[in-house]
Amino acid sequence: MTRIPRKKLVVAGAGIGGLAAAIACIQKGMPVQLVEKTPQYKHVGAGIQLGPNATRILQAWGLGTALAQVAAFPKQLQARDARSGKVLGTLPLAGRAQALYGSPYATIHRADLHRLLHRGAQVDGVGLMMGLSIRDWTERPDMLNVHTSAVHAIHASGLIAADGLWSPLRRQMLFTDPPSFSGHLAYRAMVTQADLPAHLRCDQVTVWMGHRLHVVHYPVRGGESLNLVAIVHGAKPEHFQDWDQDADTQELMQSMGKVGRDLHERLASVPAWRKWALHNSPPLKSAREMVKGRVALLGDAAHAMLPYLAQGAGMAIEDAHVIAQCLSTDGQTVQEQLQAYAEQRWARNARVQARAVRNGQIFHARGLEAIGRNLSMRFMGERVMDVPWLYGEGPTP
């Protein structure tokens, strides 16, 4: 089949996944037009954990120095019992991740990661349209006409839909299954460490596990701030698509029930909380769920997942790296290149989706299952807390 020349790629969404796709594609010599529906960026959000599988790619894109300037690099991952406060197990991170997997384990504020990627995408060949959305597209044998809300068409060779959890483009591709409510509510907060008592400051990732709840906290912004996320079971809120709702400490404490003094003191030290309802999609079943013709899904638009493996951003970054590699392959049409991307990505994304769900069940276990979890962590430690298939495998820069 005759190869169709690549003129330009349109990327819907200028969040983490969309910006990552723009960086990856322009570094392969492919012009990119980003289309973002919000008129201006709102640099808000919670923290993000970036495993070695993600930081390895950021370093390959030349962003390692910029990452080191804004991220934190926790010394270890520690698991604790939410009621007793006992340490269940630890996994060294600082140094170990670099030695085993070739890149560090980082924790970063979402806004800092977004700024880092935005600066990386501000190069010749990348355009950005703000305050516009993509209405639809017309696929022709040799190109795609992408129509925006500004009523003009962008002529492109392919469209990458990185427009998030509630992706309108996913629905237009006739993938009509919306993300489902997990039954979990996330309360998040960000505090300055200097404002905390010395014994509450933290230079590690800590996971507190309890009955129908867990809490995660870790440093960001070079250790200056502490990001906290508390997950509880609860009813689906009325405004379930709003990920930034008001909440308060009393509301959170009532949802959590009885927890130990150490955890209670840490949560009570937070002056303000935000709340959102966690949604996810079933694990992907095939490559057909990520691509259709000249249009491909990337990140949450393709595989919405729960945050219990801390890989939402990581999988979007991996997607971006692979789609650029595939689109730069010689001797194939754009349709074939995008199909190759989906074939390479769907099974790994599905595995991460499934593992995240399982982690939530383990974190929130009770009775005999909780006893088994605690014993496994106590006696096998690193063997059950590390994830070699995730951090050591995946796309190679």
Alpha-carbon distances of 41 from 33, 49, 114, 345, 353, rounded to whole Å: 17, 21, 10, 29, 28
Residue 42: inside a domain, yes or no? yes
Q: What is the DSSP string of 168-222?
A: HHHHHTT-----EEEEEEEEEEEEEGGGS-GGG--SSEEEEEETTEEEEEEEEGG
Confidence of residue 40 (pLDDT cuts 50, 70, 90): confident
In a domain, 239, yes or no: no
pLDDT in tens, 262-310: 999 999 999 989 999 999 999 999 999 999 999 999 999 999 999 999 9
> DSSP states of 337-396 as a string?
HHHHHHHHHHHHHHHHHHHHHHHHHHHT--HHHHHHHHHHHHHHTHHHH--HHHHSSS--
C-alpha to C-alpha distance for 377 and 77, rounded to whole angstroms: 12
Of 383 and 241, which is predicted with more confidence?
A: 383
Place 242 in a pLDDT band, splitting at 50, 70 and 90.
low
Percent of the chain with pLDDT over 70: 96
Q: Can you give the pLDDT at residue 2?
A: 33
The number of domains in the chain is: 1
pLDDT grade for 146, boundaries at 50, 70 and 90: very high
- What integer pLDDT is reported at residue 45 of this predicted model? 67
pLDDT at 177: 84
* Of 22, 39, 41, 42, nearest in space to 31 by CA: 22
Tell me, yes or no, whether 214 lies in a domain.
Answer: no
Domain, as residue range, for 38: 9-178+282-391
Q: What is the pLDDT of residue 237?
A: 79
Give residue 176's pLDDT band: very low, low, confident or very high (50, 70, 90): confident
> 223 in a domain, yes or no?
no
Residue 343 lies in a domain: yes
What are the beta bridge partners of residue 126?
32
Neighbours of 84 (CB within 10 A): 15
Quick check: is 157 in a domain? yes
For residue 263, being part of any structural domain is answered with no
pLDDT for the residue numbered 3: 41
Structural domain contains residue 101 = yes
Residue 56 parent element (H or E): helix 52-60
Average per-residue pLDDT for the chain? 93
Distance CA 113, CA 105 (A): 14
Residue 332 backbone phi and psi in degrees, to 5 = -130, 155
The yes-or-no verdict on residue 241 having pLDDT over 80 is no
CATH code of 42's domain: 3.50.50.60
Q: Tell me which of 219 and 250 has the higher pLDDT.
A: 219
Distance, in Å, from the CA atom of 120 to the CA atom of 22, rounded to the nearest integer, reads: 9
pLDDT single digits (tens) 44-56: 668 999 999 999 9
